[in-house]
Amino acid sequence: MQITRQSDVIVSVPYFTPTSEIKSFIEQKYDWIQKNIQRQKDEQDHAGEKLYISGQYFYYLGIPYPLEVFFRQNLPPGLVFWSNRFYLNCNDQQAKGKSYFIEWYKSKAGEYFPRRVDSLSNELRLQPRHIRITSAQTRWGSCSGENNLAFSFRLIMAPQAVIDYVIIHELMHIKEKNHSSQFWKLIETVMPEYKLHRHWLKAHGHKFIL
Ligand SMILES: [Zn+2]
């Protein structure tokens, strides 16, 4: 017996099983079916919303690291990343975990992006005016008419090659303000495999919503 994501119940039986027998089988299993449909609904309610509990994984530069949650009053509350693991000292992790992670990712993005933009902009000889870190959910980067660049802190969860693609993309807008074929040709000259990174972001970007 199987329950689909749409809460349909599928029963596999031999071909000649009488309908009455199938019905009584389902009646016997009624409690089990109800319990599983409810569990599935609970899981779907939490889909897309991260749980801040031990054993959950959080991405940093493309690599998932496990979280360990604990509560010690004599230690400072908050999030620490140490030896390939996140440690969250918090007494109400589901309420506060998210803001601790946002704070941590923002500070990492604040260190990483200016440094990487600087080195890529020197390589490409394209100088932005100013760099800003945003909290955008799906807009990974942008370049204003005045060549001010902005990057979502969430991008720090992506692999470095994907981050490079977004930075190169926004830097190239200093030269070309649109997404013309000329623009993509320029991207291709400096990053021949850029389509790979673009698709990666489209397929995996949803994992970076906290
Ligand atoms: Zn663009």
Distance 166 CA to ligand 1 centre (A): 9
pTM of the model: 0.76
Q: Ligand 1 center to residue 160 CA distance, Å?
A: 18
C-alpha span between 15 and 50 (Å, rounded): 44
Tell the residue number behind the tokens 């031999």, with chain if given.
14
**Region 47-56 average pLDDT:** 84
| Residue spans per domain, the chain | 2-46, 57-102, 110-208
Q: Which of 36, 66, 73, 63 is nearest to 51 (CA)?
A: 66
Q: And the tokens for 120?
A: 């890529």
CATH number of 110-208: 3.30.2010.10
Question: Is 141:154 a contact under the CB 8 Å cutoff?
Answer: no
| SS3 state of residue 159 | coil
Q: How far is the CA of 60 from the centre of ligand 1 (A)?
A: 24
Residue 154 · residue 112 · CB < 8 Å? no
Model pLDDT for residues 9-23, shown as the tens digit of each residue: 777 888 788 888 888
Residue of 129, 204, 126, 191 whose CA lies nearest to 159:
204
Distance (angstroms) between ligand 1 centre and the Cα of 24 equals 60
* Mean of all residue pLDDT scores within the chain: 91
Q: In angstroms, what is the span from residue 50 Cα to ligand 1's centroid?
A: 29
What amino acid occupies position 96? K
pLDDT score recorded for residue 147: 97
8 Å CB contact between 33 and 4: no
Residue 106 alpha carbon to ligand 1 centre in Å? 22
pLDDT tens digit sequence for 103-162: 999 999 999 999 999 999 999 999 999 999 999 988 999 999 999 999 999 999 999 999
pLDDT in tens, 61-96: 999 999 999 999 999 999 999 999 999 999 888 889
